[in-house]
Amino acid sequence: MRVLAISGSLRAASYNTALLRAAAQLAPADTTIELYEGLERLPHYNEDRDGEAAPAEAVRLREEIAAADALVIATPEYNTTMPSQVKGIVDWASRPERQTSALWGKPVLVVGASVTDYGAMWAQDHLRKALGIAGARVLDSELAVSRAHERFDDEGRLVDEATGSRLAELLDELIAACDALARAA
């Protein structure tokens, strides 16, 4: 199984990116989690630039999502919502609309980390809603990693056992959702 992991943070020392790296280490042996690189190159959505002349990074994002069996998106929280670059993922990947989009029917796990006591929970909620409206199959389960600076070491390694256990459980749920879709097809 191939899972595409997208960090919504542009920071080099992002806790959200670190969370996805931890997910890659916790994934079962038959599951590959690949980190999407290039979010900073993704332009804001502009319908005038979409279609056959879509920006190269938007095309690559769509292709990466379409080729994956599932997605894990880790979002930071800016002003109690997802940052614009995370919304851009949904906007580009949800076009063309409905069944022809890269997101349509795609199993997605949304997680988030922040240094606050809330663990990006509002951003995750907003992202789940946007993904659901776009036609993705979003898991109801959540992982809001609060006080992230206490859960990762200085090298960005996840050191909190409870967070690691919960992340592994969610990966199992995501894999089960993919298996259920495959059986139903």
Q: State pTM to two decimals.
A: 0.96
Superfamily of domain 2-184: Flavodoxin domain (3.40.50.360)
What's the pLDDT tens digit per position in 53-76?
Answer: 899 999 999 999 999 999 999 999
What's the pLDDT tens digit per position in 113-153?
Answer: 999 999 999 999 999 999 999 999 999 999 999 999 999 99
Q: Where are the domains of the chain?
A: 2-184
In whole angstroms, what is the distance from residue 111 CA to residue 120 CA?
A: 8
In whole angstroms, what is the distance from residue 98 CA to residue 94 CA?
A: 7
In whole angstroms, what is the distance from residue 108 CA to residue 85 CA?
A: 17
pLDDT number for residue 139: 98
